[in-house]
């Protein structure tokens, strides 16, 4: 099972490799994630995305970057492991959207298996801020993410 994160209509980013899975099974106390890009400064100034129901469709709107941050300082995750998935945050950078537009991100496995207990897909919706960024705070806090296939 591999997991991926994508914005609707955007390419899939990041996968959990067999090697990462094996390292985790051997006792490494961290969840495999995949590498999400070069280090960047903390994004702690980003406010959490306001909830929304209806996704905004814009012909020129697209996602330019999707990455995870971790902890209270919202530091970008640049390694392939984290200590706890519940305090991860998802940051989506866009162009072509206006302040207040609603975007949707879907988190699912590539093979169609459950990504969390009883859940094949996690759907997040949030509003784009004036800088074209949507910040989803702790999207895994209320679910049990499946790091390996269910038996």
Alpha helices in the chain (DSSP H): 18-25
pLDDT over 90 (residue 84): no
C-alpha distances (whole Å) from 95 to each of 92, 128, 133, 143 are 10, 10, 9, 30
pTM score, whole prediction: 0.67
38-81 pLDDT per residue, tens: 333 333 345 567 788 899 999 999 999 999 998 777 788 888 77
Residues contacting residue 130 through CB under 8 Å, at least 6 positions apart = 99
The tally of CA atoms less than 13 A away on the side-chain side of residue 79 is 7
| pLDDT value of position 121 | 92
| pLDDT value of position 48 | 64
| pLDDT value of position 149 | 65
């Amino acid at each position: 099972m591999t997991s991926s994160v994508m914005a609707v209509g955007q390419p899939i980013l990041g996968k959990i490799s067999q090697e990462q899975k094996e390292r985790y099974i051997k006792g490494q106390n961290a969840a495999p994630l995949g590498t999400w890009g070069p280090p960047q400064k903390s994004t702690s100034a980003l406010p959490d995305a306001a909830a929304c129901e209806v996704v905004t469709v814009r012909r020129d709107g697209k996602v330019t970057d999707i990455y995870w941050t971790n902890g209270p300082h919202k530091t970008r995750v640049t390694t392939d492991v984290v200590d706890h998935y519940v305090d991860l945050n998802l940051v989506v950078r866009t162009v072509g959207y206006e302040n207040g537009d609603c975007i949707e991100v879907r988190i699912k496995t590539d093979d169609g298996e459950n990504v969390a207990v009883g859940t094949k897909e996690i759907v997040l919706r949030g509003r784009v801020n004036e800088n074209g960024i949507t910040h989803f705070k702790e999207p895994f806090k209320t679910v049990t993410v499946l790091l390996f296939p269910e038996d």
